[in-house]
Structure 1
Amino acid sequence: MASLASRSLLRSSIRARYSYTCPHCRHYASPSTPSAPPLLLRIRSDLKTAMQQKDKTRLAVVRALLADVMNAAKTSSPIQTDMQLLSLLRKRVAAAQTAKAEFAGAGRQDLVEQEEQQAKVLEEYAGGVETLGADSVRDSVQRVVEEGKAALAAGAKAANMGDVLKKLLGAGGSLEGKNVERSEVARIVKQMMGPTP
């Protein structure tokens, strides 16, 4: 009986050692899947904390944020960076402010307070994202605009705002992959390029 058990154990260890995994399965099982943004990881851990502390306001906000992230994952543009998550947070804050104004107009003070509390939690998360400072963005924009002016002096065509933004935010750009608001970059580019003729 003991020899039978040892033989089956031996067979299972040999089978495990020489098991075949097809190349396609290896790709999907690899640990190189993109990791979630740090803010999203914090929000997920705060879900558990809010449940344990019975913080209903924070729990409602975190659940709504995670639902929005899950819904975005099913679209063509899932949330993969902190900046995309920051954009979602800002939309939620704006929606909370709008709802607060409507509730105040209707005389529902209890709902006004609830929206204020939810907006505070959302702003707390939005404040946790470190974005690139305006000075460093301005330096990068200045460098690209000067390169464009030098190319213009050499006989190249004049760069428009879209070309400058592509050089900054596109592949290989100085601001590619950095936490920076695209609208802020566009505003600085427009300001530095001056009025277009």
Structure 2
Amino acid sequence: MASLASRSLLRSSIRARYSYTCPHCRHYASPSTPPAPPLLLRIRADLKTAMQQKDKTRLAVVRALLADVMNAAKTSSPIQTDMQLLSLLRKRVAAAQTAKAEFAGAGRQDLVEQEEQQAKVLQEYAGGVETLGADSVRDAVQRVVEEGKAALEAGAKAANMGDVLKKLLGVGGSLEGKNVERSEVARIVKQMMGQTP
């Protein structure tokens, strides 16, 4: 009986000693998903902190945000940047303001205060995202619009708003990859294009 166990142990040690994997056959794993945005990492860390400090308001907000991020991950447009997360935060702040107004109309002061506290936490997170200033965006838009004017004088077709946005936000654009709200860029482009003939 003991010899049977010792033989099987001996065989397994021999196999382990002589197992060899060709270096060309080895496969190394690489992360297929991009790294999480810094604000999302902060929110995940705050979940643990809020649990330890028993901060119910912050804990409720953080859990709701993480649930929204998880739900978005299952769609075709997951949250991968701070700007997408900022958009989500602004939607949640707007929803909190709407709920606050409804609770005030119903005379529920306790729920009004709760929504105010949640809105403060959401605005604190939204304030943590640094975006490009309106002046920098305006300068970039002005340069692209002037390039379009010069091309128009050279005989090219007139650039429309979509072309300008593509030059700004597309691959190789001056605002590509920068923390800037697309709606703000579109508003400035529309304003500048309205000034051009």
Q: Is the aligned partner of 1:85 residue 2:85?
A: yes
Cα 1:175–1:2 change in 2 (3 A) is farther
Deviation, structure 1 residue 29: 2.5
CA distance in 2, matches of 1:150, 1:25: 56
Greater Cα offset, 6-15 or 33-42: 6-15
Q: Deviations over 1:80-138 (max 9, x none)?
A: 00000000000000000000000000000000000000000000000000000111111
CA distance in 2, matches of 1:124, 1:33: 28
Q: Deviations over 1:20-44 (max 9, x none)?
A: 8899998883146410000000000
CA distance in 2, matches of 1:98, 1:91: 11
Q: Runs of 5+ in structure 2 lacking a partner? A: none
Q: Is the aligned partner of 1:59 residue 2:59?
A: yes
CA distance in 2, matches of 1:92, 1:24: 51
Cα 1:30–1:107 change in 2 (3 A) is same
CA distance in 1, matches of 2:146, 2:18: 61
Cα 1:3–1:76 change in 2 (3 A) is same
Q: When the two structures are superposed, what TM-score results if normalisation uses the length of structure 2?
A: 0.87
Cα 1:150–1:5 change in 2 (3 A) is farther
CA distance in 2, matches of 1:150, 1:115: 52
Where does residue 16 of structure 2 map in the other structure?
A: 16
Where does residue 177 of structure 2 map in the other structure?
A: 177
Q: When the two structures are superposed, what TM-score results if normalisation uses the length of structure 1?
A: 0.87
Deviation, structure 1 residue 76: 0.2
Rg (Cα) greater in structure? 2
**Number of aligned pairs?**
197
CA distance in 1, matches of 2:20, 2:79: 35
Cα 1:154–1:25 change in 2 (3 A) is farther
Cα 1:172–1:107 change in 2 (3 A) is same
Deviation, structure 1 residue 187: 1.1
Deviation, structure 1 residue 4: 12
CA distance in 2, matches of 1:139, 1:17: 66
Deviation, structure 1 residue 192: 1.3
Q: CA RMSD in A?
A: 3.6
Q: Secondary structure at the match of 2:157?
A: coil
Cα 1:80–1:113 change in 2 (3 A) is same
Greater Cα offset, 31-40 or 99-108: 31-40
**Percent identity (aligned):** 96
Cα 1:6–1:55 change in 2 (3 A) is farther
